[in-house]
Amino acid sequence: MGTLDEPLLHYAFSKGIADWVERHNRYSTDEAVHAPEAEGQSIDWSALFRGDAQAQRRALKDLSYRLPCRPLLRFFYVYLWRMGVLDGQPGFDYAVLLSFYEYLIGLKRRERTRGEEGRDQDGGKETSA
């Protein structure tokens, strides 16, 4: 591991919105798979307030899985708290995209839960609709 001498310039939309949506569709699937693992663990409250940046981020993410209305909270966080409102239309669009990403995670988590419940009820065999 090393350090960078210059700031890393990251252009999330350099390949366009379609690429961003495609990537975040994959990311939301991964999050939906791994979210139940985080929910089973307790929140590290000390890391949330006194840990290094990475530990704080992990603890905040673990906490966020337990919050209701996560997409709406993410929108307000990005658009108001992080001042996306000052960026005009691009700031609004970005806040909406991130809240949509959170919504996808929730949908995929519920889909996985329903799929597991369906397999449990019929002895491990999936039913066709």
Banded model confidence at residue 122, pLDDT cuts 50, 70, 90: low
Banded model confidence at residue 47, pLDDT cuts 50, 70, 90: confident
CA distance 61 to 112: 20
The pTM assigned to this predicted structure is 0.78
57 or 28, greater pLDDT: 28
Banded model confidence at residue 123, pLDDT cuts 50, 70, 90: low
Q: What is the pLDDT of residues 7-22, one digit of tens each?
A: 888 888 999 999 999 9
Torsion of CA 7, 9, 12, 13, to 10 degrees: 160
CA distance 128 to 116: 14
Per-residue pLDDT at 125 exceeds 70: no
Per-residue pLDDT at 82 exceeds 50: yes
* Helices 89-121 + 17-39 axis angle, to 10: 50
Out of 11-15, 48-52, 104-108, give the one with best mean pLDDT: 104-108
Overall average pLDDT of the 81-106 stretch: 97
Banded model confidence at residue 129, pLDDT cuts 50, 70, 90: very low
